[in-house]
Amino acid sequence: MSSHTVEVTGPDPRSVACAPGQRLLDAFLRSGVYLPNSCNQGTCGTCKVKVLSGNVEQPAVSETVLGADEQADGFVLACQSSPTSDARIEVPRGAGSGPGHPLRDLSGVVHEVREIADDTLELTVGIDEPLDFSAGQYIEVTVPGIGHIRQYSMANPPSSADRLEFHVRRVPDGVATDRWIFDSLDQGHRIEMRGPWGDFVHDTEADAPMILLAGGTGLAPLKSIARHALELDPEREIHLYHGVRHRSDLYDVEFWETLTERHPGLRYTPCLSRDDGFGRHGYVGDVVLADFDSLRGYSAYLCGPPAMVDAGVKACKRRRMPGRNIHREKYTPAPTSAPDMVPA
């Protein structure tokens, strides 16, 4: 079967070839043509585009992601849709430009698998060719033998592009964690990946002081963002809050304490919601409210479970931070019936 040509309309028309069964988002990003994207599993709606002509197949989509009126008007999700003919699509206005790094397949060798907290591992992978990515992005890992895909954010900055660091929390009976990474993955094993993905990235053009709110392994992309920001400006004002339930869930404490000694503008605050006696007690959003009377002039990056992110956004807005300055990424469980998931 031959490929199909898909064109994005607008003042700067672009087109790419899409192989049979290949999803629109995959085809465009591999060609270096940006389309907005975030979760890559059909739950956020970031990648919606309008089909102006041609035929595109898409699995059933929840109306909470694409309303019935939108679907009737020709909107589809680029991460879930494959063309069955040549087609023309329109990207919603205001989508802007994104990271722009070409999507590609990667192969790497595990350098280290290290336990860093209860049910949490740090996975370090050396890749055959350096990966161009923006701080905050993620890659997809293929689970060997079954072909399922799992997504993990890079914790290393883009300057360390040949050795990727991931933070992995065990999911009970998880096909990627319990049955593979925590069970048998070891130094020297080769893994297959593709990336980079995602629009949750460090805005390098903004020089405002930063608030970073992490929940659990949501620390990974924020570690990348903080390290990248400090590489660009060692005096940057950065306030990092890392929220977990118990002291045993906390990790990278020594790393952050050492980093604060080298960078006077960096403040690290661990927050424990169930334990006392170390760091601050409470949820990260509440601790931020206690620490700041105003967040005007700040920018925020939030990553973690949906409830934590939503509460953190509300806290930032209560302290008068404009919504345009708030960047967020929600980690949600992998669906059990499909091979895709959001970052973890």
User: Whole-angstrom Cα distance, residue 80 to residue 41?
Assistant: 7
* Residue ranges making up the domain that contains 227: 210-330
The three-point CA angle 130-300-257 to 5° equals: 70
Residue with tokens 């995602």: 198
Is 54:42 a contact under the CB 8 Å cutoff? no
Domain for residue 18, yes or no? Answer: yes
Residue 277: per-residue pLDDT: 83
Nearest Cα neighbor of 90 from 33, 8, 26, 18 is: 8
Task: Produce one character per residue of 176-195: b if its CB has 16 or more CB atoms within 10 Å, e if not.
Answer: bbebbbbeebeeeeebebbb
Structure token pair of residue 226: 């903080």
Co-location of 168 and 230 in the same domain? no
Residue 339: per-residue pLDDT: 39
Residue 100 identity (one-letter amino acid): G
User: Whole-angstrom Cα distance, residue 39 to residue 115?
Assistant: 27
pTM of the model: 0.91
Residue 9: per-residue pLDDT: 85
Half-sphere exposure of 11 (CA within 13 A, CB side): 2
Angle subtended by helix axes 284-291 and 306-318, to nearest 10:
10
User: Whole-angstrom Cα distance, residue 84 to residue 88?
Assistant: 12
> Among the three residues 34, 59, 90, which one is the final residue of a domain in this structure?
90
Co-location of 324 and 225 in the same domain? yes
Co-location of 223 and 312 in the same domain? yes
**Structural domains counted in the chain:** 3
Residue 332: per-residue pLDDT: 74
Residue 99: per-residue pLDDT: 82
Is 301:222 a contact under the CB 8 Å cutoff? yes
The DSSP line for 125-167 is EEESSPPP--TT-EEEEEPTTT--EEEEE--S-TTSTTEEEEE
Query: Going residue by residue through the chain (344 aa), what tens digit of pLDDT does each one get?
Result: 689 999 988 767 888 999 999 999 999 999 988 888 988 888 889 999 999 999 999 999 999 999 999 999 999 999 999 999 999 999 876 555 678 899 999 999 999 999 999 999 999 999 989 999 999 999 999 999 998 999 999 999 999 989 999 999 999 999 999 999 999 999 999 999 999 999 999 999 889 999 999 999 999 999 999 999 999 999 999 999 999 999 999 999 999 999 999 999 999 999 999 988 899 999 999 999 999 999 999 999 999 999 999 999 999 999 999 999 999 999 876 654 443 334 43
Domain for residue 73, yes or no? Answer: yes
E strands, the chain, are 4-8, 14-18, 48-53, 56-57, 75-77, 82-83, 87-90, 104-117, 120-127, 138-142, 149-153, 163-169, 190-197, 210-215, 238-244, 266-272, 280-281, 299-304, 326-330
Co-location of 145 and 170 in the same domain? yes
What does residue 128 show for φ and ψ, rounded to 5 degrees? Answer: -65, -35
> Among the three residues 176, 197, 218, which one is the final residue of a domain in this structure?
197
CATH number at residue 58: 3.10.20.30
Co-location of 233 and 186 in the same domain? no
Co-location of 129 and 190 in the same domain? yes
CA 49 to chain centre: 21
Domain for residue 99, yes or no? Answer: no
Residue 344: per-residue pLDDT: 39
The helix (H) or strand (E) run that includes residue 262 is: helix 253-262
Parallel, antiparallel, or unpaired: how do β-strands 75-77 and 48-53 relate? antiparallel
Residue 279: per-residue pLDDT: 92
Residue 276: per-residue pLDDT: 84
What does residue 137 show for φ and ψ, rounded to 5 degrees? Answer: -80, 175
Co-location of 180 and 267 in the same domain? no
